[in-house]
Amino acid sequence: MQKLERFLPGFNHVLCGKPPKTAFTQYREKLLKLRQSTLSELSSIFEGLIPLDKLSPNARGAHSRTRVYSRSVSFFGFLHQVLSPGMPCREVVRKVQSFCSEKNLPMPDSDNAAYCRARGKLDDELLDTIHTHISEKVQQRVMQNQRWKDRDVKVIDGTGITLPDTVENQKEFPQPSRQLPGCGFPVMKVVACFCLASGALLKWVETELKRHESRIMVKFIEHFRPGDVVLPERMGCGSLGKLTCDYDATYCAYSN
């Protein structure tokens, strides 16, 4: 049987108390709460981070008419899917139906085609604006004891994302060279810069898989300030040192 005593053996864990929850456990519980929330609750939770005025209807064009799947409803439905990987669109439709019932609004049918069209009209400029606003808000909450020796640490790392096998994707993001033609999928490389203390995503670059990360480092210079510690992978450290020559107080470390 698992022993839950923290200090003296033989004492019941009720007397000694349970061990404190780890940061990962607390994060997982918060994420579970978000996944179980309604669209109204999700809007209230992120009210202080997301600029809700940016989700108001347009003067003309897409998201300008009053519809069930407004820009705001489409955005928070999409956010629900991001927070719950694997959530199908029909589940978002059920969330919207619950929201409409709560607000005494016209009830949409169970077909997810309307939601998919509305989600596709969320333009990149809107999402980038919201991302920048959230990133700045999150970094403002970083406390002094979360920084490393009074310095901000910026982490740079990359990954590969498999894309749908279309002619356009194959042309812009070719599949790995070792893959036989017609047997693989396009792969997009994404290199991102994070704030280590807050976890905020500062900037990312999308490129083809064969492009080396060291050639992308210049894209992140605008996010480095004098005194920052930059933590790239081992292969990118040398090129980063050349790029930061004008930042006398910027340090560079690397990871394997």
In this predicted model, what pLDDT tens digit does every residue of 15-46 receive, in sequence order? 556 677 888 888 888 888 888 888 889 888 88
List pLDDT tens digits, range 160-183. 888 988 889 888 888 887 877 777
CB 112, CB 127: distance < 8 Å = no
What was the pLDDT predicted at 242?
46
207: enclosing H helix or E strand = strand 201-208
CB 169, CB 205: distance < 8 Å = no
DSSP state letters, 74-113: HHHHHHHHHHSTT--HHHHHHHHHHHHHHHTPPPP-S-SH
Give CA 2 to chain center in angstroms: 37
pTM for this prediction: 0.73
What was the pLDDT predicted at 46?
87
- Round to whole Å and give the CA distance between 153 and 149: 10
